[in-house]
Amino acid sequence: MVQLIIIDEVHLLNDSRGAVIETVVARSLRYQETTGQPVRLVALSATLPNYADVADFLRVSGENLFYFDSSYRPIPLETTFIGVTETNQMKRNAKYIDVTYDIVIEQVKQKHQCMVFVHSR
């Protein structure tokens, strides 16, 4: 009997693979309704601005919804967005790499840690 389902990267609900997550959620909710056996759903995402909408979809009540914003972190994060205006895809990708590399190297030289998130598979 399944009692816990952990869904990592739940923001992929809006992706081509989201149907799989939806199916797992729907089946687990249906299982709970028909058997009366609780199944705990834990949905995780580092990038989910519409967490309340996802909570509604998962049928999570307010007292069971936990959202941790950047103020919760013991060490504050700095966020930087980089825009590149190059229209040629190959040149744009190369520019992304060059600009990101330069910024990372500058951060490391200043003895900072650095993490880079990119939108890709």
pLDDT of the residue at 32: 92
Residue 41: phi and psi, rounded to 5, are -105, 125
pLDDT by residue, tens only, the chain of 121 residues = 789 999 988 888 888 878 999 999 999 999 999 999 999 999 998 878 888 999 999 999 889 998 887 777 777 777 778 788 999 999 998 998 999 999 999 999 999 888 887 766 5
- Please give the pLDDT value at position 75: 76
**pLDDT recorded at residue 106:** 94
Beta strands in the chain (DSSP E): 4-8, 40-44
CA distances from 17 to 12, 21, 25, 54, 104 (A): 7, 7, 13, 16, 31
Distance of CA 116 to the CA centre of its chain: 14
Contact 30, 63 (CB under 8 A): no
**Which tokens go with 109?**
């030289």
For residue 26, the model assigns a pLDDT of: 92
Closest CA to 31 of 44, 19, 41: 41
